[in-house]
Amino acid sequence: MTLKPSDRILGIDLGTTNSLAAAVLPQGPEALTPPGAPGPLVPSVAVRVEGRWVAGRQAVPHRLTRPGDTFFSIKRLMGRGLEDLAEELPRIPYRVEGGDRKLVKVMADGQGFTPQEISAQILKEVKAGAEAALGESIRRAVITVPAYFDDAQRQATRDAGRMAGLEVERILNEPTAAALAYGLEQKAKGLVAVYDLGGGTFDISILRLDGQVFQVVATHGNTHLGGDDLDHALAEHLAARHPAAPLAEPLAKAALLREAERVKRKLSAALECDYRIDLGAGALSGRVTREELNALAAPLVAATLESCRAALAMGQVDPQQITEVVMVGGMSRVALVRQEVERFFGRRPNVAINPDEVVAVGAAVHGHMLGGHRKDYVLLDVNPLALGLETMGGTFTKIINANSTIPAQATEYFTTSADNQTAVELNIYQGEREFVRDCRNLGRFKLGGLPPMAAGLPKVKVTFTVDANGILTVAAEEERSGKAASIEVIPSHGLTSREIDRIMEDAVEHGMEDLTMRQLVEFRLTAQAVFRGIEKAWPQAQALFTPETQQAIRVQMTQVSAAAEGRDPWRLKAEMDRLGDLTRPLADAIISTAALRELKEFYQEHKERETP
């Protein structure tokens, strides 16, 4: 069959366990089922067979026969480094090795393939199925990602789409897509919580729906928490029942995990379920109850509710203000999940829309709008974690704050710390703490070719831009010389869920301590700059001040130095204020020299920033 080309923009949910496509048809948006397929879901599985890729349903049987060559849950590897996967690797039957730029590769046929390449094979299968269902050749798509995916993971997803032959028009957050599908269909208004628990990730997003406006108020999540974790916990539970069985062998381990997945799904509707693990030479069997599954799922569900509390706190929303709770993801079918979510929010979750399909449907709706076919809503999403630069003393200066509406752009001005500096290196970080040692480096670049100037004179304008896909670009320009440089930040790998959790928890736990230390570091830097200005202008000071005042300035500089050796920022600030009172006439009287301009401008700028 020859397919006719189309400008339709497909909506694709690239999931950990299953993927699917949706499109807006004359009768409305719907998930696409290829001819002869049992449904729209495409297993997110790929296998290398005789030098070629097999993906989707055809690849699933190979998980039991060729576990070392069959790749699943690949989404958990996207945009990550080998050190990020320490907990994940023991669970994976296929081989994962470190590659260039800290990216990982999975091994098949003696070759290494990146997670992007594996995901591209899955996307190709989804694309082919959608084309068969529509009778059209598709080249454009909106692909969804967890809201808490960082820059590296979003870039990896976009690259996978490109490898699959798709023009990725937008990287869209999964909970936002779900809210879009739900809100337009239900004509909802008010505050909606989208609880998205899938195979490998969890997100909670709070959205304000008001007619045509879909605004994300806050988002939180864990990119390493989902149904996979319950599958492995249940598999370990079953294995413990049969300690003498050779369940560590690759084939047996694969069979055990597959049976654990099946039992989990059955217990979503049944109170108990029989299991049978085929070992080739024999089989293991028994029965599992829903109570046992609930006990295993309880820690996972508790972790999701902690994220819910964090999102509500960031959005300054009480659970009672939530008008609707939308459940998304296959794990939302687990009875315990629904019970605990209902208890937390105090209302029964909305499960009217198929939780497996709602994300793809929302992506299709957004793709329809991007294609110019509807303009009846405005979508305002957010950036999940703060973005900024390393500044003097190892401090983290936030340029774009967490939960800022995207697209977003912000500009800050910086200067040099040494005389005749001809280049400035910009180190870009992501996180919530006050020092870069507690944040994650995203990339770095150098603005060079600056003309030699006194420290503090260059005026470097740094602009951070996050586009609608959540992709960051950083540009820098020295305004006096016109020298400019920019970089699209492509980090070597992404944040682990543990790091993300630690980032948010530590930001609260150590907030006052961090702020105090940051103030101390900045006050010390201010004191150093003031000292430089005084020393450069001392010949003028000797002509301007009486010997008694000159002596008072020297004594006060000693007091500032002593305070800078301590750990009390407010004592240091008080001593600096006294020095400022003594030296301000010097700056006011002689403003023509570079040294005095540096003293006056630097001191005044920091005095304004440091006033509590």
Say what the pLDDT of residue 141 is.
96
Task: Spell out the residues 6+ positions from residue 516 whose beta carbon is closer than 8 angstroms to its own.
Answer: 569
Residues of the chain with CATH 3.90.640.10: 227-295
Residue among 84, 117, 159, 174 flagged as catalytic? 174
What are the start and end residues of each CATH 2.60.34.10 domain in the chain? 385-506
Confidence (pTM): 0.71
Q: In this predicted structure, what is the pLDDT of residue 30?
A: 92
How long a stretch of residues is the chain?
Answer: 612
Residue 13 appears among annotated catalytic residues: yes
Residue among 13, 151, 324, 598 flagged as catalytic: 13
Q: What is the β-pairing status of strands 42-43 and 140-145?
A: unpaired
Contacts of 410 (CB under 8 A, 6+ apart): 399, 400, 404, 463, 464
**Which DSSP state fits 422?**
-
334 vs 52, 157, 193, 221, 295, CA distance in Å? 37, 28, 18, 19, 12
Distance CA 609, CA 612 (A): 8
pLDDT on residue 381: 80
> CATH 1.20.1270.10 in the chain, residues?
511-610
User: Active-site residue among 69, 75, 324, 573?
Assistant: 75
Catalytic residue among 88, 196, 203, 477: 196
Give the homologous superfamily in CATH for domain 4-226+296-382.
Answer: ATPase, nucleotide binding domain (3.30.420.40)
Largest CA distance in the chain: 100
Q: Tell me if the domain spanning 385-506 has CATH number 2.60.34.10.
A: yes
501 is annotated as an active-site residue: no
pLDDT digits (tens, 9 = 90+) for 536-552: 888 888 888 888 888 99
Q: Could you say which residues of the chain have pLDDT below 70?
A: 1-2, 100-102, 184-187, 374-376, 487-515, 517-518, 521-522, 588-612
Look up 75 and say whether it is catalytic. yes
**Surface-to-core class of residue 314, CB atoms within 10 Å of its CB (0-12 exposed, 13-18 middle, 19+ buried):** middle
What CATH code is assigned to 227-295? 3.90.640.10
Three-state DSSP at 287 gives strand
Query: Residue 137: what pLDDT?
Result: 93
Q: Which CATH class name applies to 511-610?
A: mainly alpha
The reported pLDDT for the residue numbered 505 is 57
Whether 174 is catalytic: yes
Query: Whose CA is closest to 136, among 4, 2, 1?
Result: 4
* Every domain range in the chain assigned CATH 3.30.420.40: 4-226+296-382
